[in-house]
Amino acid sequence: VAHTLHYAGGQWDRADRIRRDTDELQRLWQSPDTRWLPVFKANNLIAGNAAVMRTRAELEQTGLSHDGGTFLGLDNKGALFSVECDEQQAHAWRKLQVGSEFVDLRAVGSSMSTDEACLLGYARALSHWQTQNRYCGVCGGLNTLTAGGHVTQCSNVDCQRQVFPRTDPAVIMLVERIDAQGQRSCLLGRTASWPEGVYSTLAGFVEPGESLEDAVVREVAEEAGIAVRDVRYCASQPWPFPQSIMLGFVATAVDDDIVIDTHELEDARWFSESELPLFGDWGDQAPGFKLPRTDSIARFLIDSWLADAKG
């Protein structure tokens, strides 16, 4: 079964070929079909379940003008740019549509279309990277944005160092155990900050000089004291909160005895494939075990593993 993970699978064209074509970018700014969408303090403007985006003519009615911005690409209506807003501009944008609010995409993304959630995640991630890279990390010079907002370049003529948008890889893994009777169970843990009863797959950042498979083995050993083998890749999910990609794996446990790292986890347990379908959902008020959020790759890994069990 082909699943689409949330924040992935956007259907617009990123149109990399246009980013360095300054003539074409200027032409697109003037085009009546081009739309801008705002980012304010890492939040996206949303009305109901939809992204708010506006054309040049619509923006000019309110005194807003956003020549430039970050080029996001082309969809079937035209070009798309995102713009970083200050306080005043954010206020003007909100007034463009009754009921619109700047919100954390993570709080609303699961109720949006996959395409728009992906687009807003892209805009948010680029905005985050830009605001974190205002100065050159080598000489301290002021950086300028080029290539439609996709490259920063140091303005010090003796340096001119370029930096490209970055994404931090994190591995997330479902660890399974099969006992002598062929009964399958999986290892889930929880951190103290999560809502009561929520258990999820283990995860962690990939370190420099480490393969993804090595990171899976290390993280499971560190967090739960379990050795694993047969690390198998499943799927990935962009996670622009603020700038990660989650790389999903399944691995097989070599031993059973869980020893948690109490700095990372509050608890970790083996749950059998017959227990998991009885879990509630993230957000349920009733006490008891709960599965992770439906828009997460953690949930995807658990649901896929359960579907496999049914054959």
Establish if 221 lies at the interface with Zn ion (CB under 5 A).
no
CB atoms under 10 Å from CB of 88, counted, come to 10
Task: Select the span of 20-28, 75-83, 157-165, 248-256 touching Zn ion (CB under 5 A).
Answer: 157-165
Q: Nearest approach, Cβ of 134 to Zn ion (angstroms)?
A: 12
Residue with tokens 């869980």: 258
The first and second tokens of residue 280, run together, are 């509630």
Q: Can you tell me which of 55, 156, 236, 244 binds Zn ion, judged by CB under 5 A?
A: 156
What's the CA gap between 68 and 162, in Å, rounded? 20
CA distance linking residue 275 with residue 285, whole number of Å: 19
What stretch of H or E contains 45? Answer: strand 43-47
- Identified binder of Zn ion from the candidate list 47, 96, 108, 159, rule CB under 5 A: 159
Asked whether the beta carbons of 301 and 202 are under 8 A apart, the reply is: no
Judged by beta carbon, residue 38 or residue 141, the one nearer Zn ion is 141
CB of 166 to Zn ion, least distance (A): 17
Q: How far is the CB of 164 from Zn ion (least distance, A)?
A: 15
Residues 94-153 that bind Zn ion (CB under 5 A): 136, 138-139, 141
**Which CB sits closer to Zn ion, 109 or 141?**
141
Please state the closest distance from residue 132 (CB atom) to Zn ion, in A: 16
Residue with Cβ nearer Zn ion (55 or 156): 156
CA 9 to centroid of chain Cα atoms? 12
Q: Which is nearer to Zn ion, 144 or 183 (CB)?
A: 144
H or E element, residue 297: helix 297-310
Name which of 280, 235, 294, 236 is nearest 106 in CA terms: 294
Provide the binding-site residues for Zn ion, judged by CB under 5 A: 136, 138-139, 141, 154, 156, 159, 161
